[in-house]
Structure 1
Amino acid sequence: FIFKPEFAKKSRGEQFFFVNDRFIKSPYLHHAMSTAFEGLVKDNCHPGYFLFLNVDPKSIDINIHPTKTEIKFNDEHTIYAMLRATVKHSLGQFSVAPVLDFNKESDFDTPYAYSKKSPVNPSIDVDRSFNPFEEDSKSRHGNGHFAMKKQKSSSWESLYTELQESGLSQGTSSVLGLSSFEVELESEVITGRLFSDKGISTKEVTFQIQNKYIVCAIKSGMMVIHQNLAHQRILYEELLKNMTVQEAVSQQLLFPLHFQFSKPKVELLQTIKEQLEYTGFDFSALENEKVEISGVPAGVLERSVEGILEQLLSDIENEVPDAGFSQNDLLAKSLAKSLAIKSGVFMESEAQEHLIHQLFACKEPSVSPDNRPVLVTLDASDLDKKFM
Structure 2
Amino acid sequence: MRIQALPPQLINQIAAGEVVERPASVIKELVENSLDAGSSRIEVDIEQGGAKLIRVRDNGAGIHSDDLALALSRHATSKIASLAELERVSSMGFRGEALPSIASVSRLTIATRTEGQSTGWSITGDGGDQVTAPEPSAHPQGTTIEVRDLFYNTPARRKFMRAEKTEFSHIETQLKRLALSRFDVSFTLTHNRKEVFTLPLAEQPLEQERRLSGLLGSSFVEQVLHLDREQAGLSLRGWIAKPVFSRSQADMQYFYVNGRMIRDKLVSHAVRQAFQDVLFHGRHPAFVLYLDLDPMQVDVNVHPAKHEVRFRDSRMVHGFIYRTLHHVLAETRPGQEVDRNTGEIRLVESEKAIIDSAPAVAAYQRPLGFHVQERQANYQSSFDIQRPEFPEKSTDQTEPDAQVPPLGYALAQLKGIYILAENETGLILVDMHAAHERITYERFKQAMEQGRISSQPLLVPVSVPVSAREAELAIEHQALFGELGMEVDRLGAETLVVRAIPVLLHGADAEKLLRDILSDIVIHGTSDRIRNDINEVLATMACHGSVRANRRLTHEEMNALLRDMERTQRSDQCNHGRPTWVQLDLNTLDKLFLRGQ
TM-score, normalising length from structure 1?
0.37
Q: Comparing both chains, which one has the higher relative contact order based on Cα–Cα distances under 8 Å and sequence gaps of 6 or more?
A: 1
